[in-house]
Structure 1
Amino acid sequence: MIGVKADQPGLALLEKGTYRGFEVDVGSYIAKQVGATRVTFRTVTSANREDLLNDHSVDLVLASYSITPDRAKLVTFGGPYYVAHQDIMVRQEENGVQNVRDLAGRRMCQASGSVSTERVVTGLGIKPRLVPSPSYSDCVRKLLNGGVDAVSTGDLVLAGFATRFRNRVKIMNVPFTDERYGVGLRSGDVDGCEKVNRALTLMYQDGTAARLLHRWFGASNLALTTSVPEFEGCF
């Protein structure tokens, strides 16, 4: 059982009973390489990923799951399978936000369970007006209807929404962090982590990663990286 999000276009979106997106395809590829004969998916959120892994509800999580020291105390990470970069998305007509410093005083969405807000507020010392939200899909809804002025998180997440709502939103292309998206496994599953890393290495070497990245994000005009990321190591 693989945990993915259900509301992030490009990465993982549940429509008409089927999950589609880059993380869904990467999860399927990993499962095939480690010998799984059947792959099933389950919806996870930023707030419940660790719980669902460690109570055995899911075996892997691919859900824009940035590797951080605090999270690595709770789960074991394979990968990363992609190194994204935190960026900013605003409405198409917005001209007052040119970089992350311009978020000071503006309404920025704060998605539950995400570390992206912390990187702006604590890491950079910038003080936006935070608007809590359960998910990034809800953040984008708030952006579209004028409830917030900006959404800031990994550029692959933003790229999926920007492609879906083209001509209504824009990515500023002013990256200010690295977002190392890892495959979450149960804490201490070193053997599983090593198998995941072997599968990810092959995925980049055989051209599958490049094909999937361009399939799902090519229309966003992001500069996509198609070389094998440097893995964290399994412990």
Structure 2
Amino acid sequence: MKVHKATVAAAAALALSLTAAGCGDDNKDDTGSGGKKITVGIKFDQPGIGLKTPDGKYTGFDVDVATYVAKQLGHKAGDIQWKEAKSADRETLLQRGDVDFIAASYSITPTRSEKVDFAGPYLLAHQDVLLRADDDTIKQPADLNDKKLCSVTGSTSAQNVKTKIAPNAQLQQYGGYSECLTGLENKVVDALTTDDSILAGYAAQSQFKGKFKLGGFKMSNENYGIGVQKGSALKAQINTALEKMVSDGSWDAAVKKNFGPANYHNEPAPKIGVVVSS
């Protein structure tokens, strides 16, 4: 009887070890890095900022910043699991713990700072408009009144225009900037508004060259921050990583790589912890 019990115990132990081994295989990094996974929220539809390409790769300034930060936190590029972070979903993703941090053209605002914490800022952009190249009716922000203006649900740009710049603009809010771009190209809307960095990325795409132009309006200051859960220790760690990125030249290299083709005149790297008011 004792031998039988020992045999059963041994079999149980073997089964547990096999189960554990199976679980380990499920969590193994399929890229071969073998490191600890980290989930990062980015935009999937913003050329030059955060874009998921048809072949499944991820490109853009935010992607490069997030990859650098993740490396400083101890993660290889292959350890990163990219998750789409649409403008209206960003606070929810962080609050639910669906992502470790978000780098998705995420402007630091008092309202958002009540719900999440921000590291940075790591880029100072300005709100602008994208127009059709042959449009000569919108020469200043006030000309947006009575025009069909497109932006993305949940973005600060849409509300900024409506409350401060052109209260009579006919605001159309879509789920993504690519939808606005299609509307602009097809003359369903007259202008697309968001940050100049994002607009420059669109204008630089080969299929759109010559079709659009930037208005050149600096209608606001947009301080891009990296969002983390409220009270997270990651904020300080990410700030340290961003400071290193600027000091070792990686920040300048990422700007040139992602915005250079659009002849985008970026502001110098902002000082960490200093938010420039509009």
Fold shared per TM-score above 0.5? yes
**How many residues of Structure 1 are paired with residues of Structure 2 in the alignment?**
232
Q: Deviations over 1:64-98 (max 9, x none)?
A: 11111110011100101101000111001101111
Write the distance in 1 (CA, Å) between the matches of 2:73 and 2:270: 19
Write the distance in 2 (CA, Å) between the matches of 1:104 and 1:203: 41
Query: Sequence identity of aligned pairs in percent?
Result: 36
Following superposition, the deviation at residue 125 of structure 1 comes to: 5.0
1:160 partner amino acid: G
Match of 1:22 among 45, 48, 61: 61
TM-score, normalised to structure 1, is 0.95
| Equivalent residue number for residue 217 of structure 1 | 259
Following superposition, the deviation at residue 173 of structure 1 comes to: 1.4
1:223 partner amino acid: H
Following superposition, the deviation at residue 222 of structure 1 comes to: 2.1
| Equivalent residue number for residue 25 of structure 2 | none
Write the distance in 2 (CA, Å) between the matches of 1:193 and 1:14: 26
Write the distance in 1 (CA, Å) between the matches of 2:107 and 2:67: 20
Largest Rg, 1 or 2 = 2
TM-score, normalised to structure 2, is 0.80
Write the distance in 2 (CA, Å) between the matches of 1:64 and 1:227: 15
Indicate the RMSD between aligned Cα atoms, in angstroms.
Answer: 1.4
Match of 1:60 among 86, 93, 101: 101
Match of 2:213 among 162, 170, 175: 170
* Highest RCO, 1 vs 2 (Cα 8 Å, sep ≥ 6): 1
Q: Deviations over 1:95-119 (max 9, x none)?
A: 1111211100000013111110111
Q: Answer whether contact 1:209 1:226 (CA < 8 A) is retained.
A: no
Q: Answer whether contact 1:83 1:229 (CA < 8 A) is retained.
A: no
Give the alignment of 1:200-211 within 5 angstroms. 200-211=242-253
Is 1:10 matched with 2:53? Answer: no
Q: Answer whether contact 1:204 1:226 (CA < 8 A) is retained.
A: no
| Equivalent residue number for residue 240 of structure 2 | 198
Write the distance in 1 (CA, Å) between the matches of 2:214 and 2:255: 17
For structure 2, the 5+ residue unaligned runs are 1-38
SS of residue paired to 1:96: coil
